[in-house]
C-alpha cells in the first residue's frame, strides 16, 4: 500500500490539454523523452504549495500570449478569475479544487490580440488514499456462489474509486460499483463471473489520483477440485447395416440392455469441466427358431474423454463425450429343439469408436437422472456397422 495520508495533494485531470492549433507537433519532437508531469510541489515560507503547469504550442514572430482563466461557480456559470500577458508558452498556477477552463490568445507584433483558442476544461480535485478494512466475503465458490457481489467497507471509497481484481500478471478485471455510501465508507461491487477463473485475486481500490490500496485478496475456487459420477440404467439398442447378425437373430432392435458409466472430472473451469469416463453397455441377444435357440451377450466397453457444461448449476448439466473401445459378442451358443445338443460357446470382437451426448437433471441433492444418446461405429466384418443406443439412468455425484 502506498502512503496512507488521507489528503495527499491536489491533482489535475485534463479533459483537454492542448491549446491553440495542436500540441502534437511539440510532443513529437521528444518521443523518446519522459512525459512531464502537469503539476509540481514547491516549498515556500508558508509550506509546500502545489502548482499546476499549463502549456501550449509555441508560435514564432509574436509579441506575447494573453492567458485567461475561468472557474465554474455553484450555479454553473463561468467566472473569470485571472488574466495575464505572458511571453512564454506556459504558465504555473496554484488552484483550489474545482472546475476550471482556460483560453490563450496571440498578441501579434502590432500589439493586437488575435487568434484566440477554444476553452480547454480541466478539474482540480483532492486526492484521497483509499483504505479497505473489510470485505463481505473472501472465498467464493463457482459451484454455488452465494452472491455475485462483494460489500466493501473502509475509508475514502467513493463512486469514482476504481475496483479491480488481478491474478498474477493477468489483465485486471474491473468491477462495477452498484451501490455506495455517500460518506465514503462502504460500496458494493458487481462480480463478472464470465471473466473469472479459479485462483487468488488481489482486490485493488484505486483513487482517480492514482493512490491505491491492494491489501485484500479474494479466492475464487470450486468446493471440490475433482468430481466423480456413477450412473446405472436401461438402454435400447438398434443395429444398422447388420446383415450377418440379422440372419441369425432375425432383428435389428434389442430391447433388453443395461448401461453403466463411471466419470472422473479433475479439470474444472468456469466454461466447463473436463475429464474422462469408463462406460459399459450390455445387450442381451436372443432368437427362438423352430429348430434352434440362439443366445449371446453383446458387450460394449468404452473409454471416453468428457466435457461437461453446467447449464444450471447443480440443476442441469450437458455432457459431451467421445472415445473408443471394443465390441464383444460372448457366450454365443445354439440349442437345438428336441435334443440335448448344444454348441460350444463362441465369442467374437471388433474395435469401435463412439460419441454421445447426455443431459443430467438433478432430482435431489447429488442424485440425478441422466438421458443419454450413444453412437458406436464398428470396424469388423460380420458385425453391425453402427449402433445407436438411447438410455435413461439414475446417477450420483460424489
pLDDT in tens, 25-54: 333 333 333 334 566 666 656 555 778 888
pLDDT above 70: residue 308: yes
CB 27 within 8 A of CB 56: no
Question: How many Å apart are CA 300 and CA 298, to the nearest integer?
Answer: 7
Candidate ranges 49-63, 212-226, 381-395; pick with highest mean pLDDT = 381-395
Looking at CATH, the fold of the domain delimited by 227-397 is given as Porin (2.40.160)
Question: How many Å apart are CA 264 and CA 278, to the nearest integer?
Answer: 9
Domains 7-128 and 227-397 share a fold: no
pLDDT bin (cut points 50, 70, 90) of residue 140 is: confident
More confident residue, 20 or 375: 375
C-alpha cell at 287: 432368437
Question: How many Å apart are CA 247 and CA 58, to the nearest integer?
Answer: 98
Q: Poorest-confidence range of 42-46, 99-103, 214-218, 232-236?
A: 42-46
pTM above 0.85, yes or no: no
pLDDT at 34: 35
- SS3 (DSSP) at 153: strand
- Convert 284-336 into a string of H (helix), E (strand) and C (coil): EEEEECCCEEEEEEEEEEEEEEEEEEEEECCCEEEEEEEEEEEEEEEEEEEEE
pLDDT above 60: residue 387: yes
- SS3 (DSSP) at 133: strand
Candidate ranges 41-45, 247-251, 341-345, 392-396; pick with highest mean pLDDT = 392-396
pLDDT above 50: residue 10: no
pLDDT at 30: 37
pLDDT bin (cut points 50, 70, 90) of residue 291 is: confident
Q: Poorest-confidence range of 45-54, 259-268, 277-286, 325-334?
A: 45-54
Which CATH number is associated with domain 131-221? 2.60.40.10
pLDDT above 80: residue 161: yes
- Per-residue pLDDT, averaged over 384-390, amounts to 96
Question: How many Å apart are CA 369 and CA 187, to the nearest integer?
Answer: 42
- Per-residue pLDDT, averaged over 67-74, amounts to 93
DSSP type of residue 342: B
Task: Decide yes or no: CATH 2.40.50.140 for domain 7-128.
Answer: no
Question: How many Å apart are CA 235 and CA 354, to the nearest integer?
Answer: 15
- Per-residue pLDDT, averaged over 64-79, amounts to 93
pLDDT at 100: 93
Q: Where are the domains of the chain?
A: 7-128, 131-221, 227-397
Looking at every residue in the chain, the average pLDDT score rounds to 84
pLDDT at 162: 94
More confident residue, 334 or 136: 136
Q: Poorest-confidence range of 26-40, 69-83, 99-113, 226-240?
A: 26-40
pLDDT above 60: residue 325: yes
pLDDT at 99: 92
Q: What is the largest CA-CA distance in the chain?
A: 132
- Per-residue pLDDT, averaged over 185-190, amounts to 94
pLDDT at 42: 61
pLDDT at 253: 92
In DSSP terms, 330 is beta-bridged to: 297
pLDDT above 90: residue 147: no
Direct distance between the N- and C-terminal alpha carbons of the chain, in angstroms, rounded to an integer: 43
pLDDT at 195: 85
pLDDT at 22: 33
DSSP string, 214-282: EEEEEEEE-S-S-EEEEEEEEE-EEEES-HHHHHHH--SEE--EEEEEEEEEEEEETTEEEEEEEEEEE
- SS3 (DSSP) at 390: strand
pLDDT at 338: 67
- Per-residue pLDDT, averaged over 320-329, amounts to 95
- Per-residue pLDDT, averaged over 209-216, amounts to 90
CB 42 within 8 A of CB 75: no
Residue with cell 512564454: 88
Amino acid at each position: 500500500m502506498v502512503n496512507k495520508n488521507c489528503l495527499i495533494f491536489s491533482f489535475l485531470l485534463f479533459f483537454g490539454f492542448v491549446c491553440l492549433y495542436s500540441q502534437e507537433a511539440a510532443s513529437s519532437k521528444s518521443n523518446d523523452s519522459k512525459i512531464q508531469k502537469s503539476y509540481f510541489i514547491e516549498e515556500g515560507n508558508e509550506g509546500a504549495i502545489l502548482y499546476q503547469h499549463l502549456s501550449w504550442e509555441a508560435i514564432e514572430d509574436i509579441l506575447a500570449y494573453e492567458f485567461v482563466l475561468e472557474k465554474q461557480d455553484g450555479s454553473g456559470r463561468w467566472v473569470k478569475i485571472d488574466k495575464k500577458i505572458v511571453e512564454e508558452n506556459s504558465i504555473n498556477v496554484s488552484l483550489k479544487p474545482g472546475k476550471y477552463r482556460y483560453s490563450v490568445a496571440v498578441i501579434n507584433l502590432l500589439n493586437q490580440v488575435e487568434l484566440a483558442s477554444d476553452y480547454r476544461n480541466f478539474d482540480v480535485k483532492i486526492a484521497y488514499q483509499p483504505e479497505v478494512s473489510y470485505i463481505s466475503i473472501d472465498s467464493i465458490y463457482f459451484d454455488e456462489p452465494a452472491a455475485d457481489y462483494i460489500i466493501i467497507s473502509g475509508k475514502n471509497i467513493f463512486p469514482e474509486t476504481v475496483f479491480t481484481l488481478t491474478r498474477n500478471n493477468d489483465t485486471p478485471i474491473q468491477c462495477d460499483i452498484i451501490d455506495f455510501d455517500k460518506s465514503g465508507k462502504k460500496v458494493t461491487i458487481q462480480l463478472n463471473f464470465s471473466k473469472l477463473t479459479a485462483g487468488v485475486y488481489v482486490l485493488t481500490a484505486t483513487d482517480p489520483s492514482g493512490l491505491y490500496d491492494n491489501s485484500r485478496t479474494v479466492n475464487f475456487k470450486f468446493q471440490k477440485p475433482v468430481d466423480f459420477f456413477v450412473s446405472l440404467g436401461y438402454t435400447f439398442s438398434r443395429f444398422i447395416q447388420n446383415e450377418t447378425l440379422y440372419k441369425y437373430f432375425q432383428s435389428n432392435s434389442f430391447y433388453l440392455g443395461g448401461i453403466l458409466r463411471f466419470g472422473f472430472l479433475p479439470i474444472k473451469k468456469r466454461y466447463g469441466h473436463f475429464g474422462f469416463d469408463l462406460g459399459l453397455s450390455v445387450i442381451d441377444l436372443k432368437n427362438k427358431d423352430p429348430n434352434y435357440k440362439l443366445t449371446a451377450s453383446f458387450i460394449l466397453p468404452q473409454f471416453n474423454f468428457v466435457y461437461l457444461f453446467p447449464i444450471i448449476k447443480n440443476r442441469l448439466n450437458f455432457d459431451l463425450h467421445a472415445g473408443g473401445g471394443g465390441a464383444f459378442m460372448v457366450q454365443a451358443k445354439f440349442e437345438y429343439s428336441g435334443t440335448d445338443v448344444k454348441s460350444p460357446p463362441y465369442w467374437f470382437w471388433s474395435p469401435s469408436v463412439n460419441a454421445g451426448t447426455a443431459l443430467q437433471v438433478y432430482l435431489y441433492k447429488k442424485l440425478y437422472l441422466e438421458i443419454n444418446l450413444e453412437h458406436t461405429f464398428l470396424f469388423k466384418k460380420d458385425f453391425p456397422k453402427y449402433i445407436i443406443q438411447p438410455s435413461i439412468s439414475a446417477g450420483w455425484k460424489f
